[in-house]
Amino acid sequence: MSLRDQLTEIKQKGLADIDSTTDLKKLNEIRVHLLGKKGPITAALRGIKDLPVDERPEVGSYANKIRDAITQAVADHRENLENAVLNKQLAAETIDVTLPGKPVAQGQPHVIQQIIDEFVDLFLGMGYQVLQGPEVESDKYNFEMMNLPKNHPARDMQDTFYLSSEYLMRSQTSPMQARALEKHDFSKGPLKMISPGIVYRRDTDDPTHSHQFHQVEGLVIDRHITMADLKGTLITMAQKIFGDKFDIRLRPSYFPFTEPSVEVDVTCFNCMGKGCDVCKHTGWIEVLGAGMVHPNVLEMAGVDSKVYGGFAFGVGPDRFAMLKYGVDDIRDFYLDDVRFLDQFDKRGI
């Protein structure tokens, strides 16, 4: 048998041995045996010196190829064997991924807070400042400065919690209009503010009335602010808070501190304007009151109504939340039932 044939035989047998091995240790033994100094290839190569000189390089190179092929075969097979071991281990480690995750503690903002924060963020983006005022208010700011002099029919002692003849629990956030107007320096720019807060009414609590609820007041005063600006602002508000498909409409109304005064309806959440029981088949739901600030309010706060003017609006976040989430009892907001509060955990809005 020629040297070349010997080498070929070594290769064929070697590869077959490698292939049939299922054990890493055994594989290593085969490798050491085949490629080692005492192995068959080394032994065969010793016979090269007996060959004619011109044949030596060719057989030498053939022997190296066989050595490489076996090295490669061992490496490949090792990887296969190792993978098989790992796969077996991984298979043994399989878990039930449908078991529940470990509970973590995460609180939620109150649903009304979420609505207020939405308003705040929207109006901050439009360049408004946020003002907060006292919940115990004077009659002067709550009523008189809002163009509701004593004995005005629209101010009913019955509706307001008084602490004395002079002080009361504010029945609206509108006094913040007067407070803001008094403090504002118009030489520094227009007044654009919103003021969220708690208000109080002398009501008996029932599904649609609460003696405590929230309002967000808005006020924009400058040299040239129009009712069209009010309309545009409210449309922006409706679309940013509820969605692009929402529209608004204005209806005449009456508030002592605005003239003209309007009620603002927004497209019904429930039917998107088609008409349903929620909107009494009008397609619209009343959500807020607004208007152009009454000249008396400006003048009483020391602002020249011939030069400055603008709009104001007042929104009830409680009502917004009731409409938006289908809550049918306003008292639910103040009972703090954990099962109620924790439902409002979608922060992606």
Partner 1 sequence: MRLAYSWLKKYLDLDMPAKDLAEKIERTAVEVDSVTRGDNGLKKIVIGHILSMTTHPDSDHLHICSVDVGEDQPLQIVCGAPNVAAGQKVIVALPNSRIGGNVKIKRSKMRGVESEGMICALDEIGFSKDVVPKEWADGIYVFDDDVPVGEPVYHYLGMDDPIIDLDVTPNRGDMLSILGTVHELAAIYNQHPEIKAPVVNEDPSLRANDEIHATADHQLAKTYKLRVIKGVKIAPSPAWLQITLWNAGVRPINNVVDVTNYILMKYGQPLHSFDQDKIDGDITVRLANQGEKITTLDEEERELSTEDMVIADQKQPIAIAGVMGGFNTQIDDNTKDVVLESAIFDSFHIRKTAQRHVLHSEASQRFERGINPDTVEAAVNEAANMIQQLAGGHIAQGIVTASEYHPELPTIFITAERTNHVLGTDLSLEDIKQIFDRLGFSSESVKDGLNVTIPARRWDIHIEADLFEEVARIYGYDNLPATLPTGRQTIGTLTPTQKIQRASRQILEGLGLTQAISYSLTTEAKASMFLMRDSKLTKLMSPMTQDHSTLRMNILSGLLDDVAYNHAHKVDDVALYETGRVFYKDSDDQVRPEEVEHIAGVLTGNLTDPSWNNHVSPVDFYQLKGIVDQFITNLGVNGAITYTSTDRYPEMHPGRTADIAVHGHYVGFIGQVHPKIAKQFKIKQTYAFELNMQTLIDLPKTDDQYQAISKYPSVKRDISLLVDTSVSNDQVVELMNKRGGAFLHDIQLFDVYEGKNVPNGKKSMAYSLVYVNPRETLKDEVVTAAFEKVKKHLTDELNAEIR
Buried b (16+ CB within 10 A) or exposed e, 308-335: bbbbbbbbbbbbbbbbbeebeebebbee
In single-letter form, the type of residue at position 181 comes to L
In the chain, % helix, strand, coil (3-state, to 5) comes to: 45, 20, 35
Compute and round to an integer the Cα radius of gyration of the chain: 42
Which tokens belong to 178?
A: 């007067």
Residue 208 · residue 237 · CB < 8 Å? no
Using the contact rule CB under 8 A, the part of the chain among 15-23, 170-178, 192-200, 269-277 near partner 1 is 192-200
What string marks each residue from 245 to 264 as x (binds partner 1 by CB under 8 A) or -? Answer: ----xxxxxx----xxxxx-
Tokens of 52: 């004619």
9 is in an annotated binding site: no
Other beta carbons within 10 angstroms of residue 204's beta carbon come to: 7
Candidates 8-16, 42-50, 219-227, 320-328 — which segment interacts with partner 1 by CB under 8 A? Answer: 219-227
Minimum CB distance to partner 1, residue 167 (Å): 5
323 and 219 Cβ atoms separated by less than 8 Å:
no
Between 62 and 186, name the residue whose CB sits nearer to partner 1. Answer: 186
DSSP code at position 101: P
According to the binding rule CB under 8 A, does residue 146 interact with partner 1?
A: no
Nearer to partner 1, 17 or 247 (CB): 247
Q: Give the interface segment with partner 1, choosing from 7-15, 85-93, 270-278, 328-336 (CB under 8 A).
A: 328-336
Does residue 125 bind partner 1 (CB under 8 A)?
yes
61 binds partner 1 (CB under 8 A): no
Cβ nearer to partner 1, comparing 83 with 132: 132
CA angle, corner 212, sides to 211 and 216, nearest 5? 130
Adjacent-strand bridge partners of 206 = 209
Stretch that binds partner 1, among 52-60, 86-94, 157-165, 174-182 (CB under 8 A): 157-165
Among 69, 85, 86, 136, binds partner 1 (CB under 8 A): 136
Report if residue 140 touches partner 1, rule: CB under 8 A: no
Compute the least distance from the CB of residue 62 to partner 1, in Å.
57
Calpha distance 268→20 (Å, rounded): 75
Residue 199: phi and psi, rounded to 5, are -130, 165
Q: Does residue 349 bind partner 1 (CB under 8 A)? A: no
> Is 135 an interacting residue with respect to partner 1 (CB under 8 A)?
yes
Looking at residue 163, its amino acid is L
Q: Do strands 129-130 and 191-200 pair parallel, antiparallel, or not at all (unpaired)? A: parallel
Site string for partner 1, 1-40 (x = CB under 8 A): ----------------------------------------
Please tell me whether residue 102 binds partner 1 under the rule CB under 8 A: yes
Determine if 307 is a binding residue for partner 1 (CB under 8 A): no
Q: Give the residue with the Cβ less far from partner 1, 2 or 129.
A: 129
Q: Is residue 218 a contact residue for partner 1 (CB under 8 A)?
A: no
User: Binding to partner 1 by residue 295, rule CB under 8 A?
Assistant: yes
**Residue 162 interacts with partner 1 (CB under 8 A)?**
yes
Q: 220, 169, 168, 218: which is closest to 198 by C-alpha?
A: 169
Give the residue, chosen from 17, 29, 203, 299, that forms a contact with partner 1 under the rule CB under 8 A.
203
Determine if 192 is a binding residue for partner 1 (CB under 8 A).
Answer: yes
Q: Which is nearer to partner 1, 125 or 326 (CB)?
A: 125
| Distance from the Cα of residue 342 to its chain's centroid | 16
Cβ atoms of residues 340 and 332 within 8 Å: yes
Q: Which residues are annotated as a binding site?
A: 259
